[in-house]
Amino acid sequence: MRLQLNGEPIDVQVTTLADLITAEGLGDAKIATAVNGVFVPATVRAQHALSTGDTVEILAPMQGG
């Protein structure tokens, strides 16, 4: 399936947002996620199905002041 991940096109073989996070090596990371501009909480990532053409944003918190 072809997705946009943080503005870059990628081809992946995943079905859910949780699968994508794991495939990207971020399984244990503290991150925020959005699909097609809509926030997806961590508690529903495993049930959130992805479709070809979806735009996914994965953001890590930044520290500093």
- Domains identified in the chain and CATH numbers: 2-59 (3.10.20.30)
Provide the edge-to-edge strand list for the sheet that holds 2-5. Answer: 8-11, 2-5, 55-59, 32-35, 38-40
Provide Rg for the chain, Cα atoms.
11
Local confidence band at 19 (pLDDT 50, 70, 90 cut-offs): very high
pTM for this predicted structure: 0.91
The reported pLDDT for the residue numbered 65 is 63
**Whether 55 contacts 35, CB under 8 Å:** yes
Alpha-carbon distance of 23 to 43, in angstroms, equals 18
